[in-house]
Structure 1
Amino acid sequence: MPPLPRNDPRQYDDLAGEWWRPGGGFEILHWLARSRGALVPPAQRPAAILVDAGCGGGLLAPHVERLGYRHVGVDLRRAGLEQSAARGVTPVTGDVTALPLADGSADVVVAGEILEHVPDLPAAVAELCRVLRPGGLLVLDTVNGTRIGRFLTVTLGERFGVAPVGLHDPELFVDPGELTVECAKHGVKLLVRGLRPSVTGLIRWLFLPTGPGPGPLGRMIPTRSTAVVYQGMGRKQGEMA
């Protein structure tokens, strides 16, 4: 069978065993999920909904499970949704550019490491904002389309196992200025900051023997530079009813 093209979502079926494998190929995604979860406040009303767009294997779940939300995970691939459901996420099959959810249904929308996989960025941003209630919070992180972002994520990242081979198409990486403009079109003023992995965690993951440890080997650290990975958050205009 010929190899799948870059950024083909079917690759996640072959990588399904990596979502929760300690020290596995998706290790750094756990660090990013923890960083996203730290930006989500406790629910402010009964039956509040958090939409996890491109939820994958549900890595955000342990970081928001005590905040009082109904955690709804949307993804294209069944293998990831099954793992999300096992961790208390309500699974919904769907595309981030056409979310099967009602307008204004979410108190929080989280889009972690998904926008760099989307061929139609304006459509994806429009959908994330559409399902967000007035006053609701958007939290996201993605990869910048700079030369260094492409080099570290694809060229170097794939060589050293930081990113699975073929999982990214660098042509889809997202400029933060463009993303900020797209969010503003839909009433969300996005504030961005850079992220980088902790050096000790990266060394432990890449070069030291790891066993089934108690948790992630490292963490993401905020930084002023958005040149590689960056995080954004903003609230939709209007007051939450």
Structure 2
Amino acid sequence: MRIAPRTTPSRNDPRQYDDLAGEWWRPDGAFAMLHWLAEARARLVPPAPRPGAVLVDVGCGGGLLAPHLRGKGYRHVGLDLTRSALEQAAAHGVAPVGADAGALPLADGCADVVVAGEILEHVPDLAAAVGEVCRVLRPGGLLVLDTLNSTALSRLIAVTLAERVRGVPRGLHDPALFVDPRVLRQECARHGVTLLVRGVRPGVPGLAAWLAGIGRGAGRIVPTWSTAVLYQGRGVKQAGSESQGGR
């Protein structure tokens, strides 16, 4: 009997996250840097502007943003494709919604804040995803995001090198989907959001400790002068703006 060879998942296959369900809340595991990024993202989110304010977390994963939002006064709605991740997010107080970033099942202008952390480099249709996150953001609302730049240096660090160290899973990223910040700013501007970007990177002491296997949640994301690898974006939707990507 001929045995079929074991297949390797294609890059950026969301089903891989079910296999990695046990990694979400291990602060020293494969998703350690996602914890650091979540904390950095939350630093850009102000306290809720009104009672009942809604924060929409697109690509929420296991809900890593939730601990950093406690006390800020938001109803935290998390959207993701992966059911196992949403179950963990719900256990941390997130209202879970199964959804694709390019087709959010939410009303226009329902969110005071939209967060899109480490998700835009995974979507096959960037324009559709940006249109959706801007559509659900109310005029005057805040968009916060971070993603990987579409440069050779970013591909080298985030894919070639990262997949060789500390058990970072292979195939989570498809570098063809990495996001040029100029393109991202243009797409946001089409929907009334003027996006400001800045480069960020892991702090050296925490990164070194994690690489050595001796760090437990001590990493931190800090600003840097270059956006060549990883960058944050922050922008406010102009009053009176209507997204061109509405549903």
User: What is the TM-score when the length of structure 2 is the normalising length?
Assistant: 0.93
Q: 2:92 aligns with which of 87, 107, 127?
A: 87
2:244 corresponds in structure 1 to none
Alignment of 1:15 with 2:20, yes or no, is yes
Runs of at least 4 residues of structure 1 off by over 3 A? Answer: none
Q: 1:209: Cα distance to partner?
A: 3.4
Aligned length: 236
SS state at 1:72 partner: strand
* 2:51 counterpart residue number: 46
Distance change (3 Å), C-alpha of 1:109 and 1:162: farther
Matches within 5 A, 1:1-241: 1-161=6-166, 163-210=168-215, 213=216, 216-238=217-239
User: Which amino acid in the other structure matches residue 174 of structure 2?
Assistant: D
User: Please, which runs of 5 or more residues in structure 1 have no aligned partner?
Assistant: none
Output the amino acid matched with 1:96: A
**Distance across 1 between alignment mates of 2:220 and 2:103:** 32
Residues 153, 163 of structure 1: 8 Å contact kept: no
Does the Cα contact within 8 Å between 1:154 and 1:163 map onto a contact in 2? Answer: no
What whole-Å deviation, never above 9, does each CA across 1:117-160 have from its counterpart, x for those lacking one? 00000000000000000000000000001000000000111111
Q: Secondary structure at the match of 2:185?
A: helix
Whether the aligned pair in 2 keeps the contact of 1:54 and 1:74 (CA below 8 Å) is yes
**Percent identity at matched positions?**
67
Q: Which moved more, 1:201-210 or 1:92-101?
A: 201-210
| SS of equivalent residue, structure 1 residue 74 | strand
Provide the C-alpha distance between the structure 2 equivalents of 1:182 and 1:31, rounded to a whole number of angstroms.
Answer: 27
Distance 1:164 1:239 in 2: 43
Q: Which moved more, 1:155-164 or 1:190-199?
A: 155-164
TM-score by length of 1: 0.95
Q: In terms of mean alpha carbon deviation, does 157-166 or 176-185 score higher? A: 157-166
Secondary structure of the residue aligned to 2:231 is strand
Q: CA RMSD in A?
A: 1.3
For 2:98, the aligned partner's letter is T
User: Residue 173 of structure 2 aligns to which amino acid in structure 1?
Assistant: H
Q: Distance in 2 between matches of 1:162 and 1:35?
A: 23
Measured in 2, the distance between the counterparts of 1:219 and 1:227 equals 19
Secondary structure of the residue aligned to 1:189 is: strand
Q: Distance in 2 between matches of 1:82 and 1:50?
A: 18
1:162 CA drift (Å): 7.2
* Alpha-carbon distance between aligned partners in 2 of 1:239 and 1:59, rounded to the nearest angstrom: 33
Q: In the aligned structure 1, how far is the partner of 2:221 from the partner of 2:167?
A: 14
Distance 1:124 1:163 in 2: 26
Shift of 1:239: 7.2
Conserved in 1, the CA contact under 8 Å of 2:27 and 2:35?
no
Q: Structure 1's 162 and 200: CA in aligned 2 closer, same or farther, altered over 3 A?
A: farther
The code of the aligned residue for 1:236 comes to: K
Stretch deviating more after TM superposition (197-206 or 177-186): 197-206
Instruction: Answer yes or no: is the 8 Å Cα contact 1:105–1:133 preserved in 2.
Output: yes
Greater gyration radius: 2
Q: Distance in 2 between matches of 1:225 and 1:206?
A: 22
